[in-house]
Amino acid sequence: MCGIVGYVGPRDCTDVLIDALSKLEYRGYDSAGIAVFDNGKISVAKSKGRLKDLENKMETEGRPQGHAGIGHTRWATHGEPSDINSHPHSGKRVTIVHNGIIENYKKLKDFLVKQGKNFLSETDTEVVAQLLDYYYDGNPLETIIKTVHELEGSYALGIVFADFPDTVYAVRMESPLIIGKGEGESFIASDVPAILKYTKDYYLLEHGEVAMLNRNGVKFYDIHKREIEKELKTADWDMDAAEKGGFEHFMLKEIHEQPESIKKTIAPRISDGLPCLEECGITPEKLKSFDKIYIVACGTAMHAGMVGKYVIEKLARVPVVVDIASEFRYRDPLLTDKDLVIIISQSGETADSLAAMRLSKKLGAQTLAIVNAKGSSIAREADMLIYTHAGPEIAVASTKAYMVQIAVMYLLAFELALASGAIDESQCRQLTALLQSTPELIEKILEEKKQAQYIASKLITADSLLYIGRGLDYALSMEGSLKLKEISYIHSESYAAGELKHGTISLISDGMPVIAVATQTALFDKTISNIKEVKARGAKVVIVCRNGYEPEKDVADYKFGLPDIDDILMPMTAVVPLQLIAYYTSVLRGNDVDKPRNLAKSVTVE
Ligand code: AGP
């Protein structure tokens, strides 16, 4: 969630660093800074606020001029957002930028204070800078290795040593870091979009590795200071993919990319009309060998797991437990080697989800990761892995990643149901064909986005609202509620429609908006009676239902109609109006849709 960049080469380093950091803004941040070798000295500029604030500060206080340096966007963990807490942080001879958390920073800080070190900030990062300084003996690599041996936590570092001008070091201990390779220039970055303007070629720094970048190129070392060779990768994302493509916001672009993302994700996993997940290390025999399935994730990814639960249990008749990763990892889960733990994560770096997966492996369960970010930690450590192919998801609010996560849930459910004999081959073919038809249905829904904008205009003054539904509609309403909260800042909660009468219905006041999802035929009449209960108490009801249903006045005020498809596939289409309603509500409220306050795209700390 913090962003690290670095550069060595012939260009104006400050320009490159600022540009690269701007491509990481989506990660969410509250301050930024750079350190550049300027006439042989390390010149630091940093500021609370946006990159613009940093640039303004450099206009007045001086803009570092050089060809090598490091940069950072900070999402505060230790110490409030402020100039002094912004990165880079320095010791006498060393300056660093940092992403992650140093868990034993207090103990180290106490030791360093006893050694006479003075601290200016409240950050754990400054402790690392001072520790590097403490160990510095004129040999940067030696110093780095000694220091990282003392550090506990997950982090990535960009480091410059005053005695080694035009040289940048990078260290990865869990938190992601890549090394970009250009013509006569090299880069470090927390994520690929930062360097795409300059090169598509990069190395993936692995856990415990160090990189040294200078005018002669890049060298890599392991934790034992041995030089190592690494494989050069090429990003399959071009700048367009990381730009907005003509849409006002990344989020709207990504909502529109959903049909394409579904196709890219499911097509390679369907052979002869049936799901085929062999390339992910998943065979039908292996799938049906499990007694129980856990789905563990955070936020939107967990909501995708909720859809997965309903679908897998309904079709494959296998028990599924869905858990929030930050709860799962601390509740001593009763796992055995007959259990499958599915970890869903767009970024593949969410600290709680990564920890939940490691705990599951430690307890002997098999782990399957469903991840969008290639080469991410969760992707690399899982026993089995299904990559989703949504491409870069820049908006903090996840949309297309959620869509492809549930698409994979369907493939898994179909394959498991067929393997266990719960459905026969023709049923499996039919369900798979239905899944393949959803991109077209979503295109149709996107043509009706003005209706979502109109509905949003009725919500923007609300203080609070409810999302209600039953079964899969309830699972879906969780995601609808989170989408609205995180980008419009309007409080909402999702509630099982049948549970309202057990207390929550007392919240209904005159004009309070209620968004009711009613797509499940078998539960439709019951859901309608729950809607009537809230309508009768003054609620302003928006119903998301099939096109064919025309709600009476005592049911709903507004309707978003959906094309027909089998009940079990409705989440693939019904989520789109919920995403659009949240998007337009945020836009109408003048919020920063792609970078909502307080949020980060990837929560790599607890
Ligand atoms: C999505 O809209 C949210 N911003 C957030 O809940 C996200 O889904 C969650 O942090 C999990 O992230 P991951 O999928 O990268 O693990």
Higher pLDDT, 177 or 2: 177
Instruction: Give CA–CA dist 47/87, Å, rounded.
Output: 8
Helix 299-316 / helix 400-419 crossing angle, nearest 10 deg: 20
- Indicate which residue of 2, 13, 280, 428 is catalytic: 2
Beta carbons of 493 and 480 less than 8 angstroms apart: no
User: 179: burial class by Cβ within 10 Å (0-12, 13-18, 19+)?
Assistant: buried
Other CB atoms within a 10 A radius of the CB of residue 149 amount to 9
510-545 pLDDT, tens digit per residue, is 999 999 999 999 999 999 999 999 999 999 999 999
CA of 277 to the centre of ligand 1 (A): 25
CA 220 to each of CA 155, 173, 214, 264, 440: distance values in angstroms, whole numbers, following the listed order: 18, 14, 12, 34, 47
CA of 301 to the centre of ligand 1 (A): 6
pLDDT, average across residues 569-592: 98
pLDDT, average across residues 28-32: 85
Band (606; pLDDT cuts 50, 70, 90)? confident
Q: Is 428 a catalytic residue?
A: no
User: Domain spans of the chain?
Assistant: 3-242, 250-445, 449-588
Higher pLDDT, 297 or 598: 297
The closest-lying atom of ligand 1 relative to the alpha carbon of residue 303 is 8
Contacts of 251 (CB under 8 A, 6+ apart): 395, 397, 399, 487, 583, 593, 594
Domains 250-445 and 449-588 share a fold: yes
Write the residue with the smallest CA distance to atom 9 of ligand 1.
299
Q: Looking at the domain that runs over 250-445, which CATH code has it been given?
A: 3.40.50.10490
What residues form DSSP beta bridges with 89?
96
**Which percentage of the chain shows pLDDT scores above 70?**
97
pLDDT at 242: 61
pLDDT, average across residues 20-37: 89
pLDDT at 81: 80
pLDDT at 241: 63
The closest-lying atom of ligand 1 relative to the alpha carbon of residue 397 is 2
- Cα 373 to its chain centre, rounded Å, is 9
The domain made up of 449-588 is a member of CATH 3.40.50.10490:
yes
Is 80 exceeded by the pLDDT of residue 321? yes
CA of 398 to the centre of ligand 1 (A): 6
- Cα 262 to its chain centre, rounded Å, is 18
Is 90 exceeded by the pLDDT of residue 402? yes
Cα torsion 526, 530, 533, 537 to 10°: value is: -160
CA of 326 to the centre of ligand 1 (A): 13
Q: Given the structure tokens 């989170």, which residue do they identify?
A: 482
Q: Does 345 sit in the ligand 1 pocket, CB within 6 Å?
A: yes
Cα torsion 205, 210, 213, 219 to 10°: value is: -90
Nearest to 71 by CA among 143, 157, 181: 157
Q: Token pair for residue 409?
A: 């849930």
Residue of 300, 344, 478 best suited for mutating to test ligand 1, as the one with most atoms within 8 Å of CB: 300
Q: Does 130 sit in the ligand 1 pocket, CB within 6 Å?
A: no
pLDDT at 103: 78
Band (153; pLDDT cuts 50, 70, 90)? confident
Task: Please provide the DSSP assignment of 463-507 as one string.
Answer: SEEEEEESTHHHHHHHHHHHHHHHHH--EEEEEEGGGGGGTGGGG
The amino acid present at 314, given as its one-letter code, is: K
Is 80 exceeded by the pLDDT of residue 1? no
Is 90 exceeded by the pLDDT of residue 306? yes
Going by the DSSP 8-state scheme, the letter that residue 138 receives in this structure is: S
Instruction: Give CA–CA dist 356/324, Å, rounded.
Output: 9
The closest-lying atom of ligand 1 relative to the alpha carbon of residue 299 is 6
482-513 pLDDT, tens digit per residue, is 999 999 999 999 999 999 999 999 999 999 99
Band (77; pLDDT cuts 50, 70, 90)? low
| CA-CA-CA-CA torsion sign (126, 129, 132, 137) | negative
Q: Please compute Rg for the chain using Cα positions.
A: 25
Instruction: Give CA–CA dist 340/294, Å, rounded.
Output: 6
pLDDT at 594: 93
Write the residue with the smallest CA distance to atom 6 of ligand 1.
299
The domain made up of 3-242 is a member of CATH 3.30.565.10:
no
Band (239; pLDDT cuts 50, 70, 90)? low
Q: Token pair for residue 90?
A: 């320095």
- Indicate which residue of 46, 48, 400, 601 is catalytic: 601
Q: Does 296 sit in the ligand 1 pocket, CB within 6 Å?
A: no
Beta carbons of 390 and 261 less than 8 angstroms apart: yes
Write the residue with the smallest CA distance to atom 16 of ligand 1.
345
